[in-house]
Amino acid sequence: MAILKRYNVATSGWIPVAVGASGSIGVTGLGGATGSTGATGLTGATGAGATGSAGATGLQGSTGLTGATGSAINAVTGTGISGWVPYWNSTSTIASSSGQNIYIGTVLAFSSSAKPLVVKGAASQSANLLEIQNSSSTVLNSVDPNGNAYFADGQLSRFSATTIVATTSRDFAQSDNGASVVSTAGSAITLTIPTGLAVGFNCSVVQKGAGQVTVGSGAGVSAYAPDGAKSAKQWAMMSVLNTGTANEYVVGGNVTA
- Predicted confidence (pLDDT) per residue in 161-199, tens digit: 679 999 999 999 988 988 899 999 999 999 999 999 999
* Lowest mean pLDDT segment, chosen from 30-34, 123-127, 212-216: 30-34
Q: Can you tell me the distance from the alpha carbon of 239 to that of 196, in angstroms, rounded to the nearest whole number?
A: 19
Mean per-residue pLDDT for 42-70? 75
Q: Is the pLDDT of residue 30 over 50?
A: yes
Q: Which residue has the higher pLDDT, 111 or 54?
A: 111
Give the burial class of 187: count Cβ atoms within 10 A of its Cβ; 0-12 exposed, 13-18 middle, 19 or more buried: exposed
Mean per-residue pLDDT for 59-81? 64
Residues in a beta bridge with 133: 139
Give the burial class of 171: count Cβ atoms within 10 A of its Cβ; 0-12 exposed, 13-18 middle, 19 or more buried: middle
**Which domains, and CATH codes, for the chain?**
126-158 (no CATH), 163-256 (2.60.120)
Q: Can you tell me the distance from the alpha carbon of 116 to that of 85, in angstroms, rounded to the nearest whole number?
A: 16
Q: Strand order in 237-242's β-sheet?
A: 163-166, 180-183, 202-207, 237-242, 248-253, 222-224
The amino acid present at 173, given as its one-letter code, is: A
